[in-house]
């Protein structure tokens, strides 16, 4: 299938230039594509036009970070005004205080908050704060869960059958070559949504664990929400063992008005944020109990966790984030979640019409399509073989080149408020066409 014949060579030429100065030609592997990545030209709302002049509907929204799509007028206006007054200073800003007030007023567990420049930084700082507060060195995280690129947080995010070990005691598997053994030793891996096995694993090193890190709807695990009894069991275990339960809501804060944690009777001690709270600019934050966050307070006699960052809480990001989150009010949350449910229903109808063994998981304004009849409930069930990944890439290419749709590379969608029923109809029709076209291959991999 030759997808490239109808496109000119601007992207290809630019990529050849990029390869001479950037490893692999890209600064983030998520946009890498063979034979070459495509380069954005302009974007507005839910539409992106690349430098070759092709317009596509955006269902990826820069990996879930653009809750209002591209170039929202109110955000553009606010940021433009701020830029004219400066982009960063060696001074605090009112913009930081205003966004902090908004977020802490939005979610009851957010007693104190600190800003960073990315979700990776937020998770890293949250882990370090947990160590500083508890005096313990280790963390526990779910097999397959993605928490950014901090050494400790990335362990076992891509564990495979040849190395992942016994389900009763999963191995700590490095992501990056050269990861120190000491890092592996300090990360305990448990199977998500499996209460009995998880508690048994945690019990073995209870006196060493600073925090149990939870993504309440872990995308890489399968985009399956954490079961309420599982989250409650983790919480009760942490209460008994002087350990913190911390949430990574970098992606999932969009699930409800107050984040995915609103869906649980027990609440995290700390929460990491990112993505949508920056209004389209680089951002991260970690927040939670005031007594824990005190480890960061420079006015304390003993500062347990010194924390700074040259561009942390810069006024451009803070301004964009405040405007974005003000616009993402309860009405907007309900509307985007309802639209997402409508999209899922229409895609499920396409699955029935095409008669393919496909399932859907998700929460709030995000969902993921799986090439299997029964939706996975664990990372090992969601794990994709080379054959499945190859087919998935073909299907993503079909949607990108033939249907002019942008998706996240797990065949997932992260909606923005810029989308309407018009785009949902286009999406579901594209999926129907795709299911019909790839039906033999989908059935073959079952």
Provide long-range contacts, Cβ within 8 A and 24+ apart, for 343-352.
343/367, 343/413, 343/415, 343/424, 343/427, 343/428, 346/424, 346/425, 346/427, 346/428, 347/427, 347/428, 347/431, 349/428, 350/428, 350/429, 350/431, 350/432, 350/435, 351/431, 351/435
What does the domain layout of the chain look like in residue ranges? 10-67+329-444, 73-327
Q: Does domain 10-67+329-444 match CATH 3.90.1150.10? A: yes
Strands 138-142, 187-190: pairing kind: parallel
**pLDDT tens across 357-410, in order?**
999 999 999 999 999 999 999 999 999 999 999 999 999 999 999 999 999 999
Q: Does domain 73-327 match CATH 3.40.50.11270? A: no
Taking the C-alpha atoms of 234, 236, 238 and 241 in order, what is their torsion angle to the nearest 10 degrees? -130
How far apart CA 178 and CA 361 sit, in angstroms, is 34
Q: Residue 391: its pLDDT value, please?
A: 98
Confidence (pTM):
0.96
Residues of the chain with pLDDT under 70: 1-8
**pLDDT tens across 214-258, in order?**
999 999 999 999 999 999 999 999 999 999 999 999 999 999 999
Q: Residue 339: its pLDDT value, please?
A: 98
- Apex 92 CA angle, 90 and 96, nearest 5: 130
Q: Residue 1: its pLDDT value, please?
A: 46
Q: Residue 336: its pLDDT value, please?
A: 98
């Amino acid at each position: 299938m030759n997808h490239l014949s109808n496109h000119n060579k601007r992207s290809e030429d630019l990529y050849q230039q990029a390869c001479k100065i950037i490893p692999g030609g890209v600064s983030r592997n998520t946009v890498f594509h063979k034979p070459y990545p495509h380069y954005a030209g302009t974007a507005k709302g839910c539409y992106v036009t690349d430098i070759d002049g092709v317009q596509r509907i955006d269902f990826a929204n820069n990996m879930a970070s653009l809750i209002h799509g591209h170039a929202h007028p109110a955000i553009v206006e606010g940021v433009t005004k701020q830029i004219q007054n400066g982009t960063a200073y060696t001074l605090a800003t009112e913009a930081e205080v205003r966004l902090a007030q908004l977020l802490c007023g939005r979610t009851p567990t957010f007693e104190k908050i600190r800003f960073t420049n990315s979700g990776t930084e937020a998770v890293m700082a949250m882990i370090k704060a947990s160590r500083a507060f508890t005096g313990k060195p280790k963390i526990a995280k779910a097999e397959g869960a993605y928490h950014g690129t901090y050494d400790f947080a990335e362990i076992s995010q891509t564990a495979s059958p040849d190395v992942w070990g016994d389900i009763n005691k999963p191995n700590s598997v490095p992501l990056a070559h050269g990861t120190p053994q000491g890092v592996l030793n300090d990360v305990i891996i448990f199977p998500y949504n499996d209460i009995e096995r998880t508690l048994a694993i945690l019990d073995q090193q209870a006196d060493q664990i600073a925090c149990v890190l939870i993504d309440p709807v872990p995308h890489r695990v399968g985009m399956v929400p954490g079961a309420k009894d599982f989250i409650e069991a983790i919480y009760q275990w942490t209460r008994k063992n002087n350990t913190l339960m911390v949430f990574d809501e970098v992606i999932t804060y969009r699930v409800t008005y107050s984040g995915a944690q609103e869906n649980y009777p027990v609440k995290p001690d700390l929460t990491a944020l990112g993505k949508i709270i920056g209004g389209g600019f680089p951002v991260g934050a970690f927040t939670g109990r005031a007594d824990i966050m005190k480890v960061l307070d420079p006015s304390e006699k003993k500062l347990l966790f010194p924390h700074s960052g040259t561009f942390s809480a810069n006024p451009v990001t803070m301004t964009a984030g405040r405007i974005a989150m003000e616009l993402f009010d309860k009405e907007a949350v309900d509307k985007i979640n309802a639209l997402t449910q409508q999209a899922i229903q229409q895609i499920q109808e396409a699955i029935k019409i095409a008669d393919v063994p496909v399932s859907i998981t998700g929460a709030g304004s995000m969902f993921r399509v799986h090439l299997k009849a029964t939706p996975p409930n664990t990372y090992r069930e969601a794990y994709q073989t080379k054959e499945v990944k190859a087919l998935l890439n073909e299907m993503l290419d079909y949607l990108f080149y033939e249907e002019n749709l942008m998706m996240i590379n797990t065949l997932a969608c992260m909606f923005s408020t810029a989308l309407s029923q018009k785009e949902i109809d286009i999406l579901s029709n594209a999926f129907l066409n795709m299911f019909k076209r790839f039906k033999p291959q989908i059935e073959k991999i079952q």
